[in-house]
Amino acid sequence: MSQTPLLELRDLSVGLKGDRVEYDIVRNINLSIYQNEILAIVGESGCGKSLTALSILGLHASPPLRITSGSITYDGRDLTKVSPEELRKVRGAEIAMIFQDPMSALDPMFTVGTLLTSAIRAHKKVTDSAAEKIAHECLADAGIEDPRRRFGEFPFQLSGGVSQRVMIALALVNNPKILIADEPTTALDVTVQAQILERLKDLKNERGMSIMLITHNLGVVASVADRMAVMYTGEIVEIGSVQNVFSVPQHPYTTGLLGAVPRLGSNSVALVPIIGRVPLPDNLPKGCTFADRCGRVVPECGVNRPELVSRGAAEVRCFNPFR
């Protein structure tokens, strides 16, 4: 990866600040997205992957959440420092986002067509017919069979799969360079999941888009992503190419995660769970946050917090990694 990144998160922390509590939920994220790649962010519920994604466009619930340190660099600007109006111009036009539950993510009171054309108008002045044309094209691009009919329909008339395609079309109308997809297939049934993922992959190839795919599904990662970052308790613990991380995982948490996935046709009967519980963000142990659950713990783990360091083809946050 010698090229310059499109989007770069550097040392990004997002925290909760209430009347009496104050702590970081996402800590020191370093992450780059390059042109024409799918980067997957993987982790279990509550590990901060969605919050990381939301904070890129400033969509985290603020207050009480806020970015406590670090920078998000896009096109020479730090998105954590730009004015609300400047950030608005980035949203949808440069970086677009789709969400987990497409059925509730579309405004129920407006037709698909009105939503798409007003999203276009939020960024550029176009005639009605031009906006309509773009909307039709994007609906088709998102894999919708009958764009003309869907254009006049209300969200409640759409199935979950069609809703998510409409969401994708909505994200495409202003031709963004980056698409952030926050668990886009979690609420959909398996066959539709596969179609949507195929669509995302095609969009990357056809439009040269970069996609940041948030998911907890390792199968999804394996089938579409180029690179992956594994998150645990608000930190990235391992990041590298999908092939690399799957074949030679280095962080004990990553191996644990891979070991907990059921495989069709494998001979082992029982899945291997990771013992213990995930510590809460307001009560993290000193040192490595995975130490209490780790089988490869060394004395240093309880004392110092490991840094994310390059090791082979990947970067790992561990004092005693595999291999």
Give contact residues for another protein (rule: CB under 8 A).
Answer: 57, 59, 84, 88-93, 96-97, 99, 101, 104-111, 118-119, 122-123, 154, 156-157, 167, 170-171, 174
Instruction: Name which of 156 and 322 has its Cβ closer to another protein.
Output: 156
Q: What are phi and psi of 130, to 5 degrees?
A: -65, -45
Closest separation between CB of residue 115 and another protein, Å?
A: 8
Closest separation between CB of residue 152 and another protein, Å?
A: 10
Contacts of 80 (CB under 8 A, 6+ apart): 12, 58, 67, 70, 71, 72
SS3 26: strand
Instruction: Name which of 152 and 259 has its Cβ closer to another protein.
Output: 152
Query: Rounded CA gap, 118 and 168, in Å?
Result: 15
Instruction: Name which of 100 and 215 has its Cβ closer to another protein.
Output: 100
What tokens does 22 get? Answer: 């104050």
Closest separation between CB of residue 238 and another protein, Å?
A: 28
Instruction: Name which of 84 and 262 has its Cβ closer to another protein.
Output: 84
Instruction: Name which of 135 and 257 has its Cβ closer to another protein.
Output: 135
- For residue 91, give the DSSP letter: B
Closest separation between CB of residue 178 and another protein, Å?
A: 12
User: What does R_g of the chain's alpha carbons equal in angstroms?
Assistant: 21
Closest separation between CB of residue 246 and another protein, Å?
A: 31
Q: Do 212 and 54 form a contact (C-beta atoms < 8 A)?
A: no
Q: How far is CA 83 from CA 8, 51, 90, 91, in A?
A: 19, 20, 11, 13
Contacts of 117 (CB under 8 A, 6+ apart): 128, 131, 132, 135
Closest separation between CB of residue 109 and another protein, Å?
A: 5
Instruction: Name which of 108 and 265 has its Cβ closer to another protein.
Output: 108
Closest separation between CB of residue 50 and another protein, Å?
A: 11
Query: Rounded CA gap, 174 and 93, in Å?
Result: 5
Instruction: Name which of 154 and 246 has its Cβ closer to another protein.
Output: 154
Pairing of strands 235-241, 227-232: antiparallel
